[in-house]
């Protein structure tokens, strides 16, 4: 079902002590919005974060996982391992995974399948690079990313998927897509889902925007009708900023 979601992606930030401190600050914040709140710490912080936030309204989620159950994949973590910690949502396809770790659409399709087989929820990320937008190719790029990784799925699978549109040129750059650019793309994404799966899947899909969302711009971006929330990087590292965004609905 479509809902407001604000997820904080900590990326490769916060050692154990910093993570404990940030979680303690997060617990002191007051939520006034109806948004579902999630944080994605590093793998090393998942266990303690989840233990500490068990009785809270914050869900602890993972930043990535491998598609295999187990085996000789040094440095990787499987769905079963995440589930054994009580983690049931995973971010897949983040542009940093695609750019720095060569994650392809095919690989992401396998990861999505593995997560769904383990009854996990997926926050599936995609977005165009600056050159794609300058060439007016952004819609085609985004449509292909979605089709290649997700369009082999049955309609019912989309109940367990959240989409996150993150224009690569806006991630960590301080440059955000304008609320109108975000709305246009989110509407296009919903139409793309509608064309393939019909209006129930399209209307029920939560589509998040990510890319330099801050307390100062969150309200305007979230006011757009097809923007259902945000995937927050830098501003998720300060509890007050993160909750200013959570409460921007
Ligand atoms: O996962 C989060 C996004 O990459 C956005 O990061 P940012 O808010 O630092 O631009």
In a domain, 3, yes or no: no
Quick one: which H or E segment has residue 90? strand 89-92
Q: 94, 103, 128, 186: which one is catalytic?
A: 94
Task: Determine the pLDDT at residue 174.
Answer: 77
Cut 0.90: pTM above it: yes
Report yes or no on 241 lying in a domain: yes
Is 58 buried (19+), middle (13-18) or exposed (0-12) by CB count in 10 A?
Answer: buried
Nearest-angstrom CA–CA distance, 65 and 45:
15
Q: What angle do CA 35, 223, 137 make, to 5 degrees?
A: 105
Concerning whether 94 is annotated as a catalytic residue, the answer is yes
**123 vs 121: CA distance, rounded Å:** 7
169 annotated as a binding-site residue: no
Task: Tell me, in angstroms, the distance from the centre of ligand 1 to residue 212's CA.
Answer: 6
Instruction: Say which CATH number the domain at 204 has.
Output: 3.20.20.70
25: in domain: no
> Would 9 be classed as within a structural domain?
no
* Substitution site in 14, 231, 241, 244 for ligand 1 pocket (most atoms within 8 Å of beta carbon): 231
The answer, yes or no, to whether any atom of ligand 1 lies below 6 A from the CB of 8, is no
237 domain residue, yes or no:
yes
47 known ligand binder: no
Q: Per residue of the chain (249 residues), what is the pLDDT tens digit?
A: 899 999 999 999 999 999 999 999 999 999 999 999 999 999 999 999 999 999 999 999 999 999 999 999 999 999 999 999 999 999 999 999 999 999 999 999 999 999 999 999 999 999 999 999 999 999 999 999 999 999 999 999 999 999 999 999 888 787 788 999 999 999 999 999 999 999 999 999 999 999 999 999 999 999 999 999 999 999 999 999 999 999 999
Does the residue 233 lie in any domain?
yes
Q: Is the CB of 210 under 6 A from ligand 1?
A: yes
How far away, in angstroms, is 52 Cα from ligand 1 center? 24
79 lines ligand 1 (CB under 6 A): no
**Active-site residue 36, yes or no?**
no
Residues in the chain: 249
What are the phi and psi torsion angles at 188 (to 5°)?
Answer: -65, -40
Domain count, the chain: 1
In a domain, 60, yes or no: yes
Q: Residue 201: give the domain boundaries.
A: 34-246
- Exposure of 117 by Cβ count < 10 A (0-12 exposed, 13-18 middle, 19+ buried)? exposed
Q: CB of 231 closer than 6 A to ligand 1?
A: yes
C-alpha triplet 166, 171, 176: angle, nearest 5°: 80
In a domain, 11, yes or no: no
pLDDT value at residue 161: 98
């Amino acid at each position: 079902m479509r809902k407001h979601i604000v997820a904080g992606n900590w990326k490769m930030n916060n050692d154990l002590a910093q993570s404990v401190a940030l979680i303690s600050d997060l617990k002191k914040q007051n939520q006034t919005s109806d948004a579902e709140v999630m944080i994605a710490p590093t793998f090393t912080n998942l266990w303690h974060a989840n233990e500490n936030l068990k009785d809270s309204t914050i869900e602890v989620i993972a930043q990535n996982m491998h598609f295999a159950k187990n085996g000789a994949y040094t440095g990787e973590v499987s769905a079963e391992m995440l589930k054994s910690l009580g983690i049931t949502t995973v971010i897949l396809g983040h542009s940093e995974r695609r750019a720095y770790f060569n994650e392809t659409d095919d690989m992401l399709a396998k990861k999505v399948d593995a997560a769904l087989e383990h009854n996990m929820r997926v926050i599936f990320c995609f977005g165009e690079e600056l050159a794609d937008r300058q060439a007016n190719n952004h819609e085609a790029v985004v449509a292909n990313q979605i089709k290649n990784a997700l369009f082999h799925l049955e309609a019912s699978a989309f109940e367990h998927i959240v989409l996150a549109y993150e224009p690569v040129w806006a991630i960590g750059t301080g440059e955000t897509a304008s609320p109108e650019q975000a709305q246009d793309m989110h509407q296009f994404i919903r139409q793309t889902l509608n064309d393939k799966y019909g209006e129930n899947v399209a209307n029920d899909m939560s589509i998040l925007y990510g890319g330099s969302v801050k307390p100062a711009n969150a309200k305007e971006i979230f006011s757009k009708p097809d923007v259902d929330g945000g995937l927050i990087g830098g501003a998720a590292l300060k509890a007050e900023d993160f909750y200013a965004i959570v409460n921007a609905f």
